[in-house]
Structure 1
Amino acid sequence: MARYGILIYSPAPADPMALTPADLEELERYPAQIEALGGRAVTGFAFQPSTVATAVRGDEVVDGTFHDTREVIAGFFILEAPNLDVAIAIARLNPATRDGAVEIRPLLAPPA
């Protein structure tokens, strides 16, 4: 199966502790929905709020995110899916699509 990196974008500053009970219920159902579509979440993590990020650009180190934006990456997971169409169907079910966005990127195969 192909592997995809799924990036979860939320309005800045992203705070996973601000999830509502309804959000949490949707997130609990999500793994079963992924499997029902023929995919598998390999691993995933939510980031701490973007306000605690540290960015490095060249020799400069600054507190906060790397760039000014309305949305920040709130988390990610690795998805195995038979093809991009299934990965898109899985991404559409993610609760983050309501207020933010979900980005799908095919992963390069590891070197042999």
Structure 2
Amino acid sequence: MAQYAVLLYERVPPSELPEEVQRGHLAMPDEVAGLGGRIVAGMALDQPETATAIRGDLVTDGPFIETKEVLAGVFVIEARDLDHALALAKLTPTVQGGVEVRPLIGFEVLEES
């Protein structure tokens, strides 16, 4: 099966998500498995102000763009195809945001010879 990143964007910080939304995130692995997919990994991100951005040689503290919605977390899922991934991603509970689904591209690790 192919792997997809489900990027969660919210206007509400992860630490302030309502309890029912938090429970919904914890229930997702079973719901996704019930539809024939699999969550490989899932995690919330710390607040945007904890970010450090790197652009070439320039390193700056804090988020690099101002937006109403911020990247709040990510799931890595396995799905049969994009349509299946989209159906699985629709299970993601959000408060005032949405999700973005992107195919993951694998890279082989090159060993030194």
TM-score tier, shorter chain, comes to 0.7 to 0.9
Indicate if the aligned counterparts of 1:56 and 1:66 stay in contact, CA closer than 8 A. no
- C-alpha change, 1:62 and 1:109, in structure 2 (3 Å) is closer
Could you say which residue in structure 1 is the equivalent of 2:43? 45
**Pairwise CA RMSD:** 1.7
Residues of 1 paired with 2:54 and 2:107: CA distance? 27
Q: How many residues align?
A: 109
Instruction: Note the residue ranges of structure 1 that are not aligned, 5 or more in a row.
Output: none
TM-superposed deviation, 1:57: 2.3
Which residues of 2 match residues 68-107 of structure 1 at below 5 A? 68-96=66-94, 98-107=95-104
Q: Which has the larger radius of gyration?
A: 2
**Structure 2 residue 86 is matched with structure 1 residue 62:** no
Superposition TM-score, scaled by structure 1 size: 0.86
- Mean Cα deviation higher: 72-81 or 21-30: 21-30
Segments of structure 2 that go 5 or more residues without pairing to the other structure are none
Task: Report sequence identity in percent.
Answer: 42
